[in-house]
Structure 1
Amino acid sequence: MSPPPTRLLVVDDDPLVRSALGLMLGGQDDVVVVGEAGDGRAGVDLARRLRPDVVLMDIRMPHLNGLDATRELMAEEGPRVIVLTTFDADEHVLAALSAGADGFLLKDTAPAEILTAIRRVAAGDPMLSPSVTRTLIERFRADVPDDRAGRARARLDRLTERELDVALAVGRGLSNAEVARTLHLSVPTVKAHVSRLFDKLEVTNRVQIAICVHDAGPA
């Protein structure tokens, strides 16, 4: 018996974007769009009522922007959130990831990659696009205060050598399977290391691990 499809909520103030995503995802057996909202407040309310597995969340919307909407949902241990954005909103993206979003996608991302992101996030493996994540975080690293970088380095100093290897791999945007292949570990062992990283680094998801690694700067 196949598992139930991933329940997806689309939150975007552009009806054309919502329509395009609905058409693209409508023919999938493992993803079903359970609702749409045109602003952040309506999106949060709908997420509370429909209990989706994943939310595709735009950043710039009326009434409640996607950043604040994401924070509300994360505070309630709600669905996983993938931020939809364009480069001109990238300062909000890093803040959204820090608030607990599970990843982000550019609005011009290819349909196959959007599906891959939804599936990965639904499976508990947040979507970190290596090239885009690296570009965004590198843009902000010049603005990281010395005390913030120092705190990040102090947190990494708590790790064992192997835990640090895993953290650095996560910082490069690798999935659990990719980390396992790179470090010659089993996937369950990688998952165990990532769970310990959450505790030792005082974070709640893999994106925050990556931000900590990049804040700390070169080893």
Structure 2
Amino acid sequence: MAGLSERHRLIVPHLRGVGHTPMPESEERGSFWAQADDIERLRIHLGLQRLVLIAHSAGTRLAISYAVQFTSSVAKLVLITPPAAYLVDEAPDAGDLSAKRHGDLNFEPAHAALIAGPQTINDDGYNAWQQESAPAGYATWGAKERAHAQIGRWSLAATKAYFSVAPPDDLAPRLGEVAAPVLVLAGAEDCLTGLAPVTALARLFPAGTSVVIENSGHYPWVEQPAAFREAIDSFLKP
């Protein structure tokens, strides 16, 4: 997080089926909606009155699920390049942003792989697809982006479980009940989530605001760490 841990204590939970946490007994228990209960149990275990939640990409689905189920436990919420099409009516613009990258020899094959989706039934194939499509997630494909794309390993089973339960139909209007301040960070060149739906998401929260990071794709703390820190540090000030 661009050195965020130097100023703040970061607690990073290993979600079900990821890292040191085993897969749940049922797939549904591993869904982002159900795992909100895990975050609440963690808050209680740590003896914290309220949490500042910071989440990225698909992780924002869990953060949003927690915020609407345990509203009073949220002090602040930071959503980094969140997929928002399932919550907002704003027309998607990821395709328009991708069209601007026409002729980019790194981007075009990666975007084609992204659109085709993973044609696999095992972790090795899924991780190979993630690597093949990785350049589509960045505004540029330089040394630091290449290094970042190599970090970690994906679990296909945990991914399937995470998306196994659809959120309630009234999730979007329930965001209006989240009184805590919310910061939505968008990458101006994010070809995965687009830009317009991401900034529209901030407007669903009573105290929501959005910041667009220029010259950044899906990972602003990697591509534009100074701008990322400026936005998030200002928001997290007491």
State the TM-score, normalized to the length of structure 1: 0.31
Of structures 1 and 2, the one scoring higher in RCO (CA 8 A, sep 6+) is: 2
State the TM-score, normalized to the length of structure 2: 0.29
